[in-house]
Copies of this chain bind each other. A is one copy, B any other.
Amino acid sequence: MNANSYSPKAAQILDVAENHMRKGGFDAISFRDLATAVGVKSASVHYHFPAKADLGQAVVARYRERIMDALGDPMDHRPLASKLKLLFDTYAAALKDGDSVCLCCQLGAEARDLPKDVAAEVERFFKSIVGWTASALSPSLSASKADKLAAHIISALQGAMVLAVATGDGVHLKNTRSLLKDCVEAQIGR
């Protein structure tokens, strides 16, 4: 099930669901609201996604695929700085309108209250993106240090988004980017 295997209507439903979930979490979407937003009835949404957990899982899976595709191969020959810039730009684009965090930041916080399949998909997102970052760092650091620094980078970006949304001030994300850059340079000893 890759991200392009959805019918146009199903993709449209996923788009709306993703936007709503980013702002209010899994409980913020309802079949009726989604149906109205895409111009069908709620029973038709159930046709595409039988249960709410199926919908949630599909939203997260598609999100992960899209992000990971945008990041590309972490082991290719681009310089580390440009990989990290791409990570910051891509991942933090979640804040684009200044009013929503990364989908998995939202869902990650409520992981213990999510349907099992949805929570598993969120966990998979984090393992993917931390793994990508660790791979990108790996030529410059020991495996152990790369893993820790990668997790820290993702953590800090997540938290900065929360702070930005909660205080209504997007500067937090830029601030964290610049401090993370220093942190990475200190670690790789440049």
Contacts and interface: CB of A to CB of B under 8 A. Distances in A.
Interface of A: 23-25, 27-28, 99-101, 104-113, 119, 122-123, 126-127, 130, 148-149, 151-152, 154-163, 165-168, 172, 175-176, 178-179, 182-183, 186
A168 B109 CA distance: 11
Contacts of A25: 24-25, 27, 109-110, 113
Interface of A is mostly: helix
Given A110-B24, A179-B183, A163 B167 contact: no
5 contacts: A28-B110, A111-B165, A126-B166, A149-B179, A182-B183
B99 A112 contact: yes
Contact of A106 (B109, B168, B176): B109
Contacts of A149: 179
Contacts of A24: 25, 27, 110, 112-113
Nearest to A114: B24
Given A159-B159, A186-B182, A151 B166 contact: no
